[in-house]
Chains A and B, each alone.
Chain A
Amino acid sequence: MSERHRWVIATLVASAMPAIVTAQDTTALRQRLHRLELLRHTAVVAVARAESARRERLDTVRSGALVILVRPGEAWLVRQASAVAWARLDSLYGDEAATLSSTPMLFFLLGRPRPQVAHLYPVIADSAATPPDVAFQLVRAGSAVIRAEADTVLSNWTGPLLLAEVPAATENARAYVELVTAPSEAVRRCYAGTADACAAALGLLAGDPALQWYDVAERRALVADATDFRLGRLRSAADACTLAGSDSACLEVLHANGIQPPLSTDARQSLVRLTLASGGRGALGRLAHGTSRSLSLRFALAAGMPVDSLILAWRRTIIEAKPKPVTIATARAWTALGWIVLMGLMAFRSSRWR
């Protein structure tokens, strides 16, 4: 390159600098990211279409932000299911469901070869699947994609799914059973109504979970429960914990072996569900991104309320979801008696003997 050309390029870059610098503000960067995302999405769909046109013709089914490529023979099934699935995903995840547009899916039925299209998220259903079955698979796939978009702090905290596939009532009832039965000091205090203890039991607080979740006796019991196979080289520490009552030895074993949280993913997912319900359509966006903030602060921002209020609302929800024991409500007992009488009358009313 000649000396003259270098000067021309340097002059051009220097003259463009103010424009480049002004373009670095957050809003402009977001707009650029959005445009890039759209371009990526268009490119992925175009690549998929080109591949499908070259190898096997596929239809594109769209519903909301869901983009699904499917064999023409199965398009009716996906068309019916995708509307249901999108409504569900949109109601579950709010604005964050729109990010699904950047991950087109490839649907095919089990037992048939996968269409030869790369770069697409696979969704597989049984060959006898009905539209509700396919909708279930699409919701599941959509949920997995949305979870993959969230940062690892949240996705590790919630477990395999951000929200469980079971109905909220079932999930809350399971959480109630855990709240009553978990061998954990933090959980017992949570049940009694202490918000901090609930936050600790849910794993929202920074610090050593072994100390936050369990008291000395519970830690010792957990170590005593560990099998010889799991203890391995920790055998002597385990003996010091269980026989000599050394809490530091108990902590050593628990830290090395991993500590089972007293409240499972059911309880955590129920908190996510409540947070999304309280925080509106943008709640998941605030919850899923923001590694610089603590998890409890993200929950508070997402729900639009102080974390203590959120935690206490969660506790109320769980306690209200207490599973119905074997006792029968009066109305149910009368209904059963009514059916017994009705069936009896059916047997008595006939005048025929044979």
Chain B
Amino acid sequence: MFRMILFTQWKWSRLTLLPLVVAAFALPLLSVQGAGNPQTTPWEARQLLNALQSWGVGYPVLATMIALFMAMTAWSADHRGRHVYALSLPIPRWHYALQRFGAGALLLGAVVIALWLGALFAAGTASIPAGLHAYPTALAVRFALALFLAYAVFFAITAGTTRTAGYVLAIIGGIIVVQVLLEAAGVHVSLIPFIGDRLILWPGPLEIFSGRWMLIDV
């Protein structure tokens, strides 16, 4: 049964997933395109780090985009078919959800492998200035964790009921409204930055997305 679920998810997602796999392979290569350029200046190492830092934004963005797409694809057919197929199966819901999750995660593995190969190729071909080091495997591991985390978050949201999605949206909207009302009332409480910090700083769930996403670094 898992093979069937995997196959159907592959069929639904392949047209979008393949370009994303190519993007994951290309991103590390694009980030080092300035390395070893004969036109570079004596400050090449610093310029290369600046360029890598700019490209570094691409990794968490790509991970988020792919995870969102895969999570939505995993449940879209069930939502459209009002879960009739799933209900007809002689298995509990958690088992079905686990198989959907596993199939999506397996397909995401292709993206991670593509990024890892791209990073290895980029690190191997680029001329790295003295004092700098390449971290292709570490970058791929971090990308994998960010990708699976984003996928798990989006999967949990899309797997829930419409009411659950409504609750999530209501909580986010409520926080914004409370912040605006507090400001209007002259009460200066930085609610959104406080919550943002709890999410982004360790041990917050999104901490893996923060920091330096650099294929080559000091």
Interaction A to B: yes
Which of A221, A324, A331, A340 has the largest count of B CB atoms less than 10 A from its CB?
Answer: A340
Interface size band for A: 35 or more
Q: Which residues of A contact B87 (CB under 8 A)?
A: 353
| Complex CA–CA separation, A327 to B213 (angstroms) | 9
- Assuming A326-B142, A339-B149, A340-B149, is B46 touching A177 (CB within 8 A)? yes
B49 touches A177 (CB 8 A): yes
A176 touches B152 (CB 8 A): no
Binds A, one of B19-27, B110-118, B153-161: B153-161
B42 touches A222 (CB 8 A): yes
Min Cβ gap B32→A in Å is 14
Give B158-203 interface residues, CB cut-off 8 Å to A: 159-162, 164, 188, 190, 202-203
Other-chain residue from A131, A340, A348 in contact with B188 (beta carbon distance below 8 A): A131
Min Cβ gap A129→B in Å is 10
Interface flag for A115 (CB, 8 Å): no
A333 touches B141 (CB 8 A): yes
Which of B94, B152, B161 has the largest count of A CB atoms less than 10 A from its CB?
Answer: B152
Min Cβ gap A186→B in Å is 14
Other-chain residue from B49, B138, B152 in contact with A326 (beta carbon distance below 8 A): B138
- B interface, CB within 8 angstroms of A: 41-46, 49, 82-83, 86-87, 93-94, 97-98, 101, 129, 131-133, 135, 138-139, 141-142, 145-146, 148-149, 152-153, 155-156, 159-162, 164, 188, 190, 202-203, 205, 207-208, 211-215, 217-218
Interface flag for A354 (CB, 8 Å): yes
| Complex CA–CA separation, A354 to B49 (angstroms) | 49
Other-chain residue from B101, B155, B207, B212 in contact with A336 (beta carbon distance below 8 A): B207
Q: Give A133's nearest chain B residue, CB to CB.
A: B188
Other-chain residue from B131, B138, B152, B214 in contact with A180 (beta carbon distance below 8 A): B131
Q: Which residues of A contact B160 (CB under 8 A)?
A: 346-347, 350
Q: Which residues of B contact A176 (CB under 8 A)?
A: 218
Which of A132, A325, A351, A354 has the largest count of B CB atoms less than 10 A from its CB?
Answer: A325
B208 touches A336 (CB 8 A): yes
Min Cβ gap A105→B in Å is 21
B138 touches A328 (CB 8 A): yes
| Complex CA–CA separation, A331 to B145 (angstroms) | 13
With A177-B49, A327-B142, A332-B207 given, name 5 new contacts (CB 8 A): A181-B131, A322-B218, A325-B133, A340-B145, A347-B97
Q: Give B78's nearest chain A residue, CB to CB.
A: A353
Interface flag for A6 (CB, 8 Å): no
| Complex CA–CA separation, A182 to B43 (angstroms) | 7
Q: Which residues of B contact A222 (CB under 8 A)?
A: 42
Q: Which residues of A contact B45 (CB under 8 A)?
A: 180-181, 183
- Assuming A332-B207, A335-B203, A352-B161, is B156 touching A326 (CB within 8 A)? no
Interface flag for A323 (CB, 8 Å): yes
- Assuming A178-B46, A180-B218, is B149 touching A324 (CB within 8 A)? no
Interface flag for A344 (CB, 8 Å): yes
A328 touches B98 (CB 8 A): no
